[in-house]
């Protein structure tokens, strides 16, 4: 029996913070998992080292499902981003090990390829409308056939999306969260117009996506969706906070603009109503925040019954290990929709060397055993953890809002 001999938790910051799990088996096989929870990284690292690692040593490395239940049911406390991210990292590392042991890529263990490659969307952004439209053009020139477009709002300081492409949200003074602004009326006035400007310049022959980032009420979201219907968005993402899944009934009644939800949610129960009542079109739960390959596969299977397709979160705060794991699911499931793809910074690749490859708006998977990602632990040591936060948002009168 190949047992879990060691489990190390590596925290490093090559361009941004990442928490990585390394499991080594008694036969010397190494598997990698991503345990990064942006802005709350050390909570997961300590959950792992203090509470999970001691339970793993000596367990049969091949029993992935049993280990998942042991960590989930065995904790007594349910769900939540810290727990589900920790479980995800262990789960993904064990799938990586299973692949390496079988000398097969993980996607072969999941049933084999259902498609040749994985459709991804890129992130076009800009400080203002002109910059953002140019950035959409840049992605189309690179061969992307799906692009998400975001820009700031005139009169609102640093609203989400106002950052130039590739920039991070690091606090200006290096310590506390950046304070940004929000104004729903300005958004409802301006966002449909700037999305229309993209269609005007580049036409309809590509998929246009937009992230509303959880800031509207269901009623406002319904109005927004209706006002962009003729722009034929691929999706509007997170139109309203999804803790209240029932709120999406109202949006659905108002608009046929497709809806994508799930990046901040962690379990199948968090998306159950959304899926079973067909209130969304794409489920965006991620492999690293929703319990790993084992649990995300369950979510996608449930979604398939209700014509909901996958649209996995893939921002740069998910490490290349996560992306490789997401891609293994993307290429095998019947109800694949699209995969988010934000290129990692070159410095991130000094530590994480993935085998997948982007070409013409699609990603081709590596056929290396396991997930095909190498992690350079020596290089990781050069990039110590730095405390960072996601921004917060406030209305003009100071009321704290959803960022
Ligand atoms: C997306 C997301 C990200 C998140 C980020 C938070 O759709 O890509 O909304 O931009 O804000 O992952 O850590
Ligand atoms: Mg999003």
pTM assigned to the model: 0.97
SS (H, E, C) 271-316: CHHHHHCCCCCEECCCCCCCCHHHHHHHHHHHHHHCCCEECCCCCC
Give the chain's mean pLDDT.
96
How many residues does this entry show for the chain?
403
Burial of residue 360 (CB within 10 Å: 0-12, 13-18, 19+) is exposed
Inside any domain, residue 402: no
- 3-class DSSP state of 204: coil
Q: Under a CB-based contact definition with an 8 Å cutoff, are residues 206 and 146 in contact?
A: yes
Which of 313, 318, 322 best tests ligand 1's pocket when mutated (most atoms within 8 Å of CB)?
A: 313
Residue nearest to atom 5 of ligand 1 (CA): 315
Q: How far is CA 52 from CA 31, 98, 287, 374, in A?
A: 16, 20, 18, 23
Question: What integer pLDDT is reported at residue 167 of this predicted model?
Answer: 55
DSSP state letter for 132: H
Beta bridge partner(s), residue 125 = 150
Ligand 1, residues at Cβ distance < 6 Å: 38, 211, 213, 263, 315, 317, 340, 390
Residue 395 forms part of a structural domain? no
Q: Which of 160, 194, 282, 341 is catalytic?
A: 160
Structural domain includes residue 77: yes
**Band (158; pLDDT cuts 50, 70, 90):** confident
**Does 398 reside within a domain?**
no
Q: Look at ligand 1, atom 3, and give the residue with the nearest C-alpha.
A: 315
Report CA(213)–ligand 2 centroid distance (Å): 6
Per-residue pLDDT at 40 exceeds 70: yes
List phi, psi (to 5°) of 290.
Answer: -125, 50
Q: Which residues of 51-84 are buried (b: 16+ CB within 10 A; e: fewer)?
A: ebbebbeebebbebeebbebbbeebeeebebbbb
Going by pLDDT thresholds of 50, 70 and 90, the confidence category of residue 161 is confident
- Alpha helices (H) in 47-124, listed in sequence order: 53-56, 64-72, 81-102, 106-109
163 Cβ partners below 8 Å, 6+ apart?
125, 127, 169
Average pLDDT over residues 232-253: 97
77 with 193, same domain: the answer is no
Look at ligand 1, atom 2, and give the residue with the nearest C-alpha. 315
CATH number of the structural domain spanning residue 299? 3.20.20.120
| Calpha distance 194→197 (Å, rounded) | 5
24, β-bridge pairs: 6, 30
Task: State pLDDT tens for residues 344-386.
Answer: 999 999 999 999 999 999 999 999 999 999 999 999 999 999 9
Residue 166 has pLDDT above 60, yes or no: no
Instruction: Please tell me the number of Cα atoms within 13 Å of 398 on its side-chain side.
Output: 0
Does the active-site annotation cover 349? Answer: no
CA of residue 120 to ligand 1 center, whole Å:
15
Is 378 within the bounds of a domain? Answer: no
Percent of the chain topping pLDDT 90? 95
Total of domains in the chain = 2
Query: 183 with 140, same domain?
Result: yes
49 and 88 assigned to the same domain: yes
**What are the backbone dihedrals phi and psi of residue 61, each rounded to the nearest 5 degrees, phi first?**
-65, -20
Cβ–Cβ < 8 Å for 245, 269: no
**pLDDT (tens digit per residue) in 204-230:** 999 999 999 999 999 999 999 999 999
Residues 55, 193 within the same domain: no
Domain end: 84, 104, 124, which one?
A: 104
Q: Could you list the residue range(s) of the whole structural domain that residue 57 is in?
A: 4-104
Q: pLDDT at position 268, please? A: 98
pLDDT of residue 175: 79
Same domain, 217 and 77: no
What integer pLDDT is reported at residue 43 of this predicted model?
A: 98
Question: What is the reported pLDDT for 286?
Answer: 98
339 in a domain, yes or no?
yes
The answer, yes or no, to whether residue 168 has pLDDT greater than 60, is: no
Domain-located, residue 376: no
Residue 401 maps to a domain: no
pLDDT digits (tens, 9 = 90+) for 185-202: 999 999 999 999 999 999
Final residue of a structural domain among 48, 69, 104: 104
The Cα 372–Cα 19 span in angstroms is 18
**CB-CB contact of 225 with 251 (8 Å):** yes
Question: Which neighbouring-strand residues pair with 261?
Answer: 283
Same domain, 195 and 335: yes
Structure confidence by residue, pLDDT tens digits, 261-306: 999 999 999 999 999 999 999 999 999 999 999 999 999 999 999 9
Provide φ and ψ at 62, rounded to 5°.
-80, -15
Q: If you average pLDDT over residues 85-89, what whole number do you get?
A: 98
Query: What's residue 159's pLDDT?
Result: 80
Do 159 and 285 sit in the same domain of this protein? Answer: yes
In the predicted model, is pLDDT for residue 171 greater than 60? no
Residues 90 and 121 in one domain: no
Residue 340: which H helix or E strand, with range? strand 339-340
123 catalytic? Reply is no
What value does the CA radius of gyration of the chain take, rounded to a whole number of Å? 21
CATH number at residue 74: 3.30.390.10
CA distance 102 to 226: 50
Q: How far is the CA of 46 from the centre of ligand 2 (A)?
A: 26
Clarify whether residues 225 and 359 are in a common domain.
yes
**Ligand 1, from 315, 340, 341: best to mutate by most atoms within 8 Å of Cβ?**
315
**How far is ligand 1, taken at its centre, from the CA of residue 315, in Å?**
6
Which tens digits make up the pLDDT trace of 94-152? 999 999 999 999 999 999 999 999 999 999 999 899 999 999 999 999 999 999 999 99
Closest CA to 155 of 131, 107, 189: 189
Shared domain check, 352 and 274: yes
Dist CA 351 CA 314 (whole Å): 18
CA atoms within a 13 Å half-sphere pointing along the CA-CB vector of 144 = 26
Same domain, 135 and 72: no
| Rounded Cα distance, 268 and 273, in Å | 10
User: In this structure, are 89 and 117 located in the same domain?
Assistant: no
Q: Which of 73, 104, 135 is the last residue of a domain?
A: 104
- Residue ID of nearest Cα to ligand 1 atom 6: 38
Alpha-carbon torsion (151, 152, 158, 160), positive or negative:
negative
Q: Which of 123, 163, 210, 213 is catalytic?
A: 213
**Ligand 1 atom 9: residue of nearest CA:** 213
| Cα 257 to ligand 2 centre (Å) | 16
């Amino acid at each position: 029996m190949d047992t879990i001999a060691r489990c190390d938790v590596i925290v490093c910051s090559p361009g941004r913070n990442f928490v990585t799990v390394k499991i080594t088996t008694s036969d010397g096989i190494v598997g990698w998992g991503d345990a990064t929870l942006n802005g709350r990284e050390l909570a997961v690292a300590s959950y792992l080292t203090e509470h999970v690692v001691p339970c793993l040593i000596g367990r049969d490395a091949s029993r992935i499902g049993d280990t998942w239940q042991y960590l989930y049911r065995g904790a007594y406390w349910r769900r939540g981003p810290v727990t589900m991210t920790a479980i995800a990292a262990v789960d993904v590392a064990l799938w990586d090990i299973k692949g390496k042991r079988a000398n097969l890529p993980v996607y072969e263990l999941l049933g084999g390829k259902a498609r040749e490659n994985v459709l991804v969307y890129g992130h076009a952004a800009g400080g203002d409308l002109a910059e953002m439209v140019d950035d959409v053009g840049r992605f189309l020139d690179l061969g992307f056939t799906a692009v998400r477009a975001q820009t700031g709002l005139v009169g609102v300081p640093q609203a989400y999306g106002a950052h130039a492409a590739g920039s991070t949200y690091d606090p200006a003074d290096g310590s506390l969260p950046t304070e940004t602004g929000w104004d729903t009326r300005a958004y409802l006035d301006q966002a449909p117009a700037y999305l229309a400007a993209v269609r005007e310049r580049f036409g309809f022959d590509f998929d246009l996506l937009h992230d509303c980032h959880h800031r509207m009420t269901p009623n406002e979201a319904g109005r927004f969706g209706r006002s962009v219907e003729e722009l034929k968005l691929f999706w509007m993402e997170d139109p309203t906070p999804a803790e209240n899944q029932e709120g999406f009934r109202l949006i659905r009644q108002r608009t046929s603009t497709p809806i994508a939800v799930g990046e901040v949610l962690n379990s199948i129960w968090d998306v159950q109503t959304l899926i079973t009542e067909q209130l969304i079109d794409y489920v965006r739960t991620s492999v690293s925040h929703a319990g790993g390959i084992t649990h995300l596969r369950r979510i996608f299977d449930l979604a398939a019954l209700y014509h909901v397709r996958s649209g996995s979160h893939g921002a740069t705060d998910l490490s290349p290990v996560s992306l490789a794991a997401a891609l293994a699911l993307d290429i095998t499931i019947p109800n694949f929709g699209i995969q988010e793809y934000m290129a990692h910074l070159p410095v991130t690749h000094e530590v994480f060397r993935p085998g997948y490859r982007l070409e013409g708006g699609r990603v081709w998977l590596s056929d290396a055993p396991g997930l095909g990602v190498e992690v350079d632990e020596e290089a990781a040591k050069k990039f110590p953890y730095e405390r960072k936060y996601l921004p917060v948002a406030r209305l003009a009168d100071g009321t704290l809002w959803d960022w």
